[in-house]
């Protein structure tokens, strides 16, 4: 039978071990899973859409890097590689975040992929908008917000607590406690 003291000690140890309160763990896990689902869904939609390609998206890009994106679309072999990397990047990043497997790496890859989307249609006032933009923004759009959310997950990971990473990297928390005992 657990005494009041033991229950209090268990709660304290749980918080010290993870470094987060239960509410923080839940919030970070929800954020990771939602972003993972978004990536996974976008990738699955593309893979199951017959004849999907990023060609029209790339050809219509605007901004200072539009020539780079247009050049990708103009080469059939490069476009094929870009399509493959885009679809499977979305699926693998999404699945990884959704189940909490290799999340730190997936967060960085997600940030990189979203940066490409952001740079292909940067939300600057002097640029023409197109059908690929979901509204009228100035500097901040959903890609930038999702990049910031992924960066939060890099800084405050949860997959070692609520994801499959806890089985692959079981000593991750012990290492943090040894290097930072507070």
pLDDT in tens, 81-99: 999 999 999 999 999 999 9
Domain membership of residue 4 (yes or no) is: no
Domain membership of residue 70 (yes or no) is: yes
Dist. CA 25–CA 88, nearest whole Å: 28
Residue for token digits 């933009």? 133
Domain membership of residue 165 (yes or no) is: yes
Domain membership of residue 84 (yes or no) is: yes
The larger pLDDT score, comparing residue 9 to residue 30, is at: 30
Cβ proximity of 29 and 158 under 8 Å: yes
HSE-up (13 A, CA, CB side) for residue 42: 21
Q: Indicate whether 136 pLDDT > 80.
A: no
Percent of the chain with pLDDT over 70: 77
Domain membership of residue 123 (yes or no) is: yes
Domain that holds residue 153: 33-171
Crossing angle of the two packed helices 66-74 and 76-99, in degrees rounded to 10: 110
At a CB cut-off of 8 Å and minimum separation 6, what does 39 contact? 90, 91, 93, 94, 97, 110
Structural domains of the chain, count: 1
- pTM, 2 dp: 0.79
Domain membership of residue 9 (yes or no) is: no
Domain membership of residue 78 (yes or no) is: yes
Domain membership of residue 12 (yes or no) is: no
Residue 164: phi and psi, rounded to 5, are -70, -20
């Amino acid at each position: 039978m657990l005494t009041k003291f033991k229950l209090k000690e268990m709660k304290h140890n749980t918080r010290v071990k993870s470094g987060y309160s239960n509410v923080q763990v839940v919030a970070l896990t929800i954020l990771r899973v939602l972003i993972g689902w978004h990536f996974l869904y976008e990738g699955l939609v593309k893979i199951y859409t017959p004849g999907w390609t990023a060609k029209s998206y790339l050809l219509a890009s605007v901004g200072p890097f539009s020539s780079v994106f247009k050049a990708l679309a103009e080469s059939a072999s490069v476009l094929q590689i870009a399509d493959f990397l885009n679809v499977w990047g979305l699926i693998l990043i999404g699945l990884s975040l959704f189940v909490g497997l290799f999340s730190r790496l997936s967060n960085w890859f997600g940030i990189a992929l979203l940066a490409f989307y952001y740079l292909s249609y940067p939300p600057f006032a002097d640029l023409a908008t197109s059908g690929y933009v979901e509204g009228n923004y100035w500097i901040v759009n959903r890609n930038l917000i999702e990049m910031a959310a992924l960066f939060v997950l890099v800084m405050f990971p949860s997959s070692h607590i609520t994801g499959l990473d806890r089985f692959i990297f079981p000593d991750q928390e012990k290492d943090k406690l040894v290097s930072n005992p507070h």
